[in-house]
């Protein structure tokens, strides 16, 4: 498993832990459902999306027979997705607490998250569009050992 696949899968389950604890807390204390948007985005952008991202980074090159377009872009994507979601969580929390600063914080986090998602779009697009590499189709070859064929 490549390090960036592992990093996305680990981040995903870490967000799952945060999300279920928050969900459980909202179930126990109904007044805390003001934090519903936080729970929703931790679950969907954190757990669900990051798990899909990690699995996609593993399977897309192997299914398409093409090396990943850019490993540095995968690193950027991980940092933007996680930093963006942390800032979004802070923004949702500030908004739920009735603080006007929540909007600017949420917009900042949302913009960072969006840039990260667009990096992923570019990554998958360029990967499947690249010339075919027979070596990339080998199922257990670490992607770092592959070179682009042109």
Longest dimension (CA), the chain: 58
Instruction: Look at the block and give the residue holding tokens 């093409």.
Output: 66
- What's the rounded Cα separation, in Å, for the pair 57 and 61? 7
Closer residue to ligand HEM, CB minimum distance, 50 or 74: 50
What would the DSSP string read from start to end of 67-99?
A: --S-HHHHHHHHHHHHHHHHHHHHHHHHHHTT-
Question: Which of 12, 53, 64, 113 touches ligand HEM by CB under 6 A?
Answer: 113
- From residue 69 to residue 88, the character string flagging contacts with ligand HEM as x (rule: CB under 6 A) and all else as - is -------------------x
Residue placing its CB nearer to ligand HEM in the complex, 31 or 134 = 31
**CA dihedral sign, ordered 90, 93, 99, 105:** positive
Residue of 14, 18, 26, 60 interacting with ligand HEM (CB under 6 A):
26
Which of 1, 13, 44, 59 lies at the binding interface for ligand HEM (CB under 6 A)? 44
Q: Rule CB under 6 A: is residue 20 a binding residue for ligand HEM? A: yes
């Amino acid at each position: 498993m490549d390090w960036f696949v592992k990093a996305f899968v680990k981040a995903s389950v870490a967000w799952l832990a945060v999300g279920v604890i928050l969900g459980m807390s909202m179930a126990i204390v109904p007044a805390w459902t003001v934090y519903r948007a936080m729970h929703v985005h931790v679950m969907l952008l954190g757990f669900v999306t990051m798990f899909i991202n990690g699995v996609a980074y593993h399977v897309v090159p192997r299914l398409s027979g093409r090396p990943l377009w850019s490993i540095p872009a995968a690193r950027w994507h991980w940092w933007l997705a996680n930093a963006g979601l942390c800032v979004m969580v802070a923004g949702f929390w500030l908004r739920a607490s009735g603080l006007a600063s929540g909007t600017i914080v949420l917009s900042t986090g949302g913009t960072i998250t969006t840039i990260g998602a667009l990096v992923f779009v570019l990554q998958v697009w360029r990967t499947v569009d690249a010339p075919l590499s027979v070596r990339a189709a080998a199922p257990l070859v670490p992607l770092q050992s592959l070179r682009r064929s042109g």
